[in-house]
Amino acid sequence: MKALEFIDGWIFKAYGPCARSLPLFRIFFALYLLVFYLPRYPWVAEMPDSFFHPPVSLAMFFTALPPWWFFYLLDFLLKVGALCLLFGRQTRFISFAMCIGLIIGNSFRYSIGPKIDHDIFIPATLFCLGFSGWGNSLSQDEQHLSQSERRSSSSWPITLLMLMVSVCMLTAAIPKATSGWLSPHVYACRGQIISNYLQNFRPMPLADWLFRIHSFLFWKLADWSTLAIEGGFIFCVISLPSMRFIATMAVFFHAFVYFSMDIFFSINLAVYASLLDFRMGLRKSWIRHSLRRFRLLAHRVRLFHIVLLAIALLGFSYALYFSDVDASRLPNNLFIIAAVVIALVSLLHFLGALTDRLVFGIAFPLRADHSLVILYDGECGLCDKWVQFVLNYDHRGIFRFTPLQSFRGKELLRQAGSTESDLSSMILLIDNRTYLRSTAVLMILRQLGGFWALLGIFALVPVALRDFAYSMVATNRHRWFPRTGDSCRLLRPYERERFLS
C-alpha cells in the first residue's frame, strides 16, 4: 500500500510546480515548432520510389511513397496546427491531431535510407501534454472555461513525458556502455567527432581545437560523462529537482555536441524546457504586459487568420528551404546559446541551494518573520557603502542595521552570546545566531536574491580562504575606502526605521 502511495505521489505530485507554467510552455513550444521544426517533408516528396524502404512503421503498409502533394498538405496542416497550439484554439484536439500527423509523416520520412532522426520527443510531448490542460489559460479555449478551470492543470502528463525522455536516453546509454565507451582503451567521443568531421561538410567550430587534445583524462572524461548523463536520466526522473539538474547537465552536453559535431539536438532542449518555471518571467512588467496583449490577440484570432498566416509562413519557409541560403545557422546558434545561458543560471541556482544546505544550514530567501540584523563598523567608509548597497537591493526590507559601536549593537551581541569585539568583522544576526566575516557577507547576498544571490555560491570556498581575503580587505579598509563627509546619503523615513539605533 505504501509502495502505491509512493508511486501515486510521484505520478501526480512530483512535477506539480511545472504544471503551473504549462500554458507559457505551450506558447514557447508552438513557437519552437514554427521556427525550428516545420516544415519537415518537402524533400521527401522529391524522392524516387526505389528509395522507399520503410522500417517497422505505418509506412510499411504502403507499396510506394505517397504523391508529392501529400507531403505539402501535411506540412501545411502541421503549420496550421502549430498556430492553433500557439493561440490555444481547440488545444487538446490539436495536440493529439499533430501527434498523429507527425507520426504518419515521419514514418515516410524515415523510409528513405536507414537513418531515423530521433525526434520522438515532439510527438511524445504533444501526446502527453494534450492531457495536461496546457491550453486552459492564455488561449482562445479559456473563453469557454470558468475562472477556476482556467487555473487547473495536471502534472502527471509531465511525469509521463519525463519517463519517456528517460527511457529514450537509457536506450542511447546502454549500447554505448556495451560498445567500448567505458573501456580505457577506446576514445569513443574522439572517434565519433572524427567520423562526423570526415563525412559531413558543415562547419564544426570546436572540432579542430578538440583534435589537438591528446589527453587520456579529457577524452575518457568526455566518454564517461556522456554515459553518466544519458544513463542518469532514469535515476533522476524520480523527482523534479534531480530531473532539472540532469537536464541542465544535458544542455551543456548537447551544446558540446552541437559545436563539435554540428548535431543540433534542439528537440531535446525544447522538451527539457517543460521543466522550467516560466512564471519567473512574469516578474518583469513588460512580459506581463506582452502576455495581456497576447491573450487579447488569442481571443480575437479566427481560423481564417490562422490559415492565411500558415500559408504565408509556409511560403516563407519553402522559399528559404529551396534557396541555397543556409538560414538555419544563426537561429540555431542563438537557440543553443540561450539554452546554455539558462542552464548556467540554473546550475548556479543548484549550487546556491547546495551552499545553503551544506554551508549555511538555512534555506534562502528567509521569510519576513525572521529577525535579520547587520552589525557593522560605524566609522568605516566601506561599511557605509555596504549598508547603502543592502538598503538599495533589499526590496523586501527584511534587514535591520546597527553599528557595532552602538549600545544596541553591543546589547544584541550580548543577547546572542557572542564575545566578538573585533570591529573589522561584519556580523549578521539571524534569530540570535551569529555569522561572521565572509560568511555574513555571502549570506546577506543570498538573501538579497536575483544576481546577488548567485554570488553566494562562493561560500563553497573553504572558510579559511574566504576569511583570509576578507581580512585583507578589512585591514586596509580605512586606507582603500576612506570615510568622506558625503559617504552617507540622506535616508528616507522608511529607511531610517530600519536602523536600530
**Least separation, in Å, of the C-beta of 165 and another protein?**
9
Does residue 347 contact residue 355 with C-beta atoms inside 8 Å? no
Write the CA distances from 419 to 176, 235, 388, 403, integer angstroms.
Answer: 60, 48, 27, 16
Site for another protein in 8-37 (CB under 8 A): 8-9, 11-13, 16, 19-20
Q: Which is nearer to another protein, 58 or 307 (CB)?
A: 58
**Does 81 participate in binding another protein (rule CB under 8 A)?**
no
Handedness of CA 98, 100, 101, 103 (dihedral sign): positive
Instruction: Pick the binder of another protein from 67, 73, 191, 327 (CB under 8 A).
Output: 191
Q: Which is nearer to another protein, 200 or 432 (CB)?
A: 200
Nearest CA-CA partner of 419 in 402, 403, 431, 436: 436
**Does 192 participate in binding another protein (rule CB under 8 A)?**
yes
Instruction: Pick the binder of another protein from 3, 48, 464, 493 (CB under 8 A).
Output: 48
Centroid of chain to Cα 441: 28
**Does 434 participate in binding another protein (rule CB under 8 A)?**
no
State phi, psi for 436 to the nearest 5 degrees.
-115, 160
Cis peptide before 55 (omega within 30 of 0): no
**Does 47 participate in binding another protein (rule CB under 8 A)?**
yes
**Least separation, in Å, of the C-beta of 238 and another protein?**
13
Site for another protein in 307-366 (CB under 8 A): 321-322
Does residue 114 contact residue 1 with C-beta atoms inside 8 Å? no
Q: Which is nearer to another protein, 114 or 493 (CB)?
A: 114
d(C-alpha 49, C-alpha 65), whole Å: 6
Three-class DSSP labels, 6-43: HHHHHHHHCCHHHHCCHHHHHHHHHHHHHHHHCCCCHH
Site for another protein in 147-176 (CB under 8 A): 148-149, 151-156, 159-160, 163-164, 167-169, 171-172, 175-176
State phi, psi for 265 to the nearest 5 degrees.
-90, 50
**Does 49 participate in binding another protein (rule CB under 8 A)?**
yes
d(C-alpha 35, C-alpha 124), whole Å: 19
Centroid of chain to Cα 442: 25
**Does 284 participate in binding another protein (rule CB under 8 A)?**
no
* Total of chain residues touching another protein, rule CB under 8 A: 90
Other Cβ atoms less than 10 A from the Cβ of 382: the count is 20
**Does 214 participate in binding another protein (rule CB under 8 A)?**
yes
Q: Which is nearer to another protein, 10 or 364 (CB)?
A: 10
**Does 271 participate in binding another protein (rule CB under 8 A)?**
no
Q: Which is nearer to another protein, 326 or 422 (CB)?
A: 326
**Least separation, in Å, of the C-beta of 71 and another protein?**
12
**Least separation, in Å, of the C-beta of 46 and another protein?**
7
The helix (H) or strand (E) run that includes residue 434 is strand 433-436
Does residue 317 contact residue 38 with C-beta atoms inside 8 Å? yes
d(C-alpha 163, C-alpha 144), whole Å: 32
**Does 255 participate in binding another protein (rule CB under 8 A)?**
no
**Does 75 participate in binding another protein (rule CB under 8 A)?**
no
Q: Which is nearer to another protein, 11 or 351 (CB)?
A: 11
**Least separation, in Å, of the C-beta of 352 and another protein?**
26
Q: Which is nearer to another protein, 176 or 437 (CB)?
A: 176
**Does 228 participate in binding another protein (rule CB under 8 A)?**
no
Site for another protein in 446-475 (CB under 8 A): none
Three-class DSSP labels, 37-98: HCCCCHHHHHCCHHHECCCCCHHHHCCCCCCHHHHHHHHHHHHHHHHHHHHCCCHHHHHHHH
